[in-house]
Amino acid sequence: MVHAWKRLLALGGRRRWMIPTFLGVALVVAAVVVLLVVESPSSTAQSTTVEPIAPQPPAQPVRFSHKVHVEQVGIACLYCHSNAPRGQVASIPSVEKCIACHAVIEGQTPQARAEIAKIRDAWERGVPLQWEKKTDLPDFVYFSHQPHIKAGVSCVECHGQVGSTDMPPRNFNMTMGFCLDCHRQQAPEKVAKLVDCATCHK
């Protein structure tokens, strides 16, 4: 940097115009930096949607624990996410499915009872629980659970050990590379179709 300045100041005659230009460029750069810094609250807010894994799970209407239901109670994934083998979405269970058990299961700790009371309240008022969706591909990507479940791909291969978590993280690392890595490993006669852009971008 010092060298650059010295060379610039040492420039004689017709090339002195470069000094104001250099200062001008420096000012513009400084202004852009200031703008970026001032803009940063909104740009960080936007970038959270791009981050593959956010540290905090979103607030859900009920503190639902997969670990309690899958590991301790032993309920199968497909009992609750019953649409996965036949449709695009796996689906989040309705209040009705929760109340089938929680009409009688009240919970053992005060905290569990308070959470289960929210399910009963929603059921009595006839309103759905508004779960926030965390695994969400952009709209320009076509995905369906059906062919994967049919081909025997397990939930864990894409979602990780959700059944052992109290709260699944906000997002999973479902990038295009993640999809393609597995598609390339399929039976050779199927690979061409599985890596074809139109398969996932209709």
Which residues, 131 to 150, sit near ligand HEC by CB under 6 A?
131, 133-138, 141-145, 147-149
Among residues 91, 110, 117, 130, the one that binds ligand HEC under rule CB under 6 A: 91
**Minimum distance of ligand HEC from residue 111's CB (angstroms):** 6
Asked if 87 contacts 144 with a C-beta cutoff of 8 angstroms, the reply is yes
Query: Which listed range, 3-11, 14-22, 29-37, 104-112, lies at the site for ligand HEC (CB under 6 A)?
Result: 104-112
Tally of CB atoms within 10 A around 170: 20
**Minimum distance of ligand HEC from residue 43's CB (angstroms):** 17
**Minimum distance of ligand HEC from residue 24's CB (angstroms):** 34
* CB-count exposure of residue 95 (10 Å: 0-12, 13-18, 19+): buried
Q: What is the largest CA-CA distance in the chain?
A: 92
Asked if 170 contacts 56 with a C-beta cutoff of 8 angstroms, the reply is yes
Query: Which listed range, 3-11, 24-32, 37-45, 101-109, lies at the site for ligand HEC (CB under 6 A)?
Result: 101-109
Q: Is 24 or 85 the residue whose CB approaches ligand HEC more closely?
A: 85
- Residue 121 has, within 13 A of its CA and on its CB side, a CA count of 9
Asked if 188 contacts 180 with a C-beta cutoff of 8 angstroms, the reply is no
Residues in contact with 90: Cβ distance below 8 Å, sequence separation at least 6, in sequence order? 81, 83, 84, 145
Residues binding ligand HEC: number (CB under 6 A): 77
Looking only at residues 46 through 65 of this chain, which bind ligand HEC when binding is defined by CB under 6 A? Answer: 60, 62-65
Q: Is 7 or 190 the residue whose CB approaches ligand HEC more closely?
A: 190
**Minimum distance of ligand HEC from residue 130's CB (angstroms):** 10
Site of tokens 């308070």: 114
Question: Dihedral of the CA atoms 25, 31, 37, 38 (nearest 10)?
Answer: -160
Residue window 19-38: x/- pattern of binding to ligand HEC, with contact defined by CB under 6 A: --------------------
Query: Which listed range, 15-23, 25-33, 38-46, 182-190, lies at the site for ligand HEC (CB under 6 A)?
Result: 182-190
- Residue 74 has, within 13 A of its CA and on its CB side, a CA count of 0
**Minimum distance of ligand HEC from residue 86's CB (angstroms):** 11
